[in-house]
Structure 1
Amino acid sequence: MSIILSVADKEFRDGLRNRWVLAISLIFALLATGLAYFGAAAAGQVGFTSLPTTLVSLASLAVFVIPLIALMLAYDGLVGEDENGTLLLLLSYPLSRWQLLLGKLLSHGGILAISTLLGFGAAALIMGLLSDSTPWSELLPAFGFFIISAVLLGWIFIAFAYVISAAASEKSRAAGLALVTWFLFVLVFDLALLGLLVGTRGNVDAELLPYLLLLNPTDIFRLLNLAYFADQPVSGLMSVAQQVRFGPVTLFASLLAWLLLPTGLALWLFNRRTL
């Protein structure tokens, strides 16, 4: 365990020097604060809206931003070291491949977790200080729930990034695969389900479709935050999913399963990688 923590500490310090924490925190804080304040601009209103509206809208925005940041943060974690010639050097030390991989995962997961906490936490603080309509007793638990789920979503895509990094032979190819992964999970999957609904004229089993959403971690993330505000109106695929109420425990367990699956796959691919 000490070896894993040593690797994580080294990678985390590199991330601090590259100012990843500061950059990601600023992005999250600006997006969250801007959405909270200008979210009702289309309706001719400017100012902080209700907490449920803000967090449901923020969850819809986060599914685009968090996976992309997580993939860009870690896609070169292994293949970049290999191209630079440092991977073979690292493995010449008394360090196994699984220890190196888990240490890197832990460091990038820590960077994303701290950035998410600082960014969205700052937005919650600003909203709490400037909005009189939302008491702290409601604001803190709701943002805390959102931040935990956002961190889990980010960790899942960091694990996907390491699957790509362990499988790719070149850094440029890994970057391309990372973008393809983002498109598949964030855009293509939901469009395919909508196409299925349209193509079958709604004849798809209404009880089956919500379970298909569990095949996408970004949809699970949105369902999880919708479950916290069960009375919040939604549209699209999420409205179909509300016909089958998934509890927070089920959705959190699904996210954890999505975290373990690519992590195990990354370990298997890295053990088979030739140097």
Structure 2
Amino acid sequence: MTSTAVVPPRLRSGRPPRRGRRREPVAAGIRIALYVIYGLPLLWILLTSIKQQGDVLGGDGLLFTPTLAAYQDALANPQLPTALLQSAQIAIGTTLLVLLLATPFAYALARVNGWTAGIVLGVLIFLQMVPQTSNIIPLFTVFSRLHLLDSTVSLVLADTAMLLPWATLLLRPFFAAVPDAIEEAAAIDGAGRIRTFLAVILPIVRNGIATVGSLIFLVAWGEFLYAINLFVSPVNYPMSALIAQQTSGYGVDWPALMSFAVISSVPLLVVYVFSFRLLREGLTVGSVK
């Protein structure tokens, strides 16, 4: 008498059987509401950029003849290449410098307990509460004496000083979530503190670092107050200041303003697309092999 063994689907295919996705009406409704809330302003910006000034001020809403004149004028603007280059240098330089300083600081802060950690956290929170406008005159004076006005270095340093406490506060929970057993295992294998930090801890929290880096890049790209004050020559303005130039005492050139806004958002979209997979992964991916 022979018997036929029934092989589960998981063993036959090597993969677990697929389960139907549970429908969550509340979550779906909230998701749709968020899409509408955040999508309508973006749609309005895009539609305004392909209108004429008369259609914006006295048109019939969605009834207009699309035109790319605003984009043609924006791309022909001689300041656009310089503005894009300045914004890229400021955002990349600020992101790298902030992560270089905030990453070890956040790791050390996550490993310190007691009143010392409380004092440091209180200082970081207090620095986040200081208004950005209160720093303009001191920064202008310092950079003027150092002959750094009207330079990319001044913007990178100013943005780093502004964003470093915030990045440290954001990174600390990622390091705090790493189990102590992982560091203890590395110490048993003979790894020192620095090697453990570079070879073990950083790969585990890479997703958190990528998330914070993306936020820093986004804020540094669109920073306006320091850019408009620390750059003396308008020809050196980044994209944020160039967009602001579309407003004047005679009114606002809305199609030009929105076309520059769309062009300025393209690099941010590219960064998001290329970093989306890494940001989506779990915190401890790769920690156990």
TM bucket normalised to smaller: 0.3 to 0.5
Structure number with bigger Rg = 2
Compute the TM-score of the two structures, normalised by the length of structure 2: 0.32
| Larger helix fraction of residues | 1
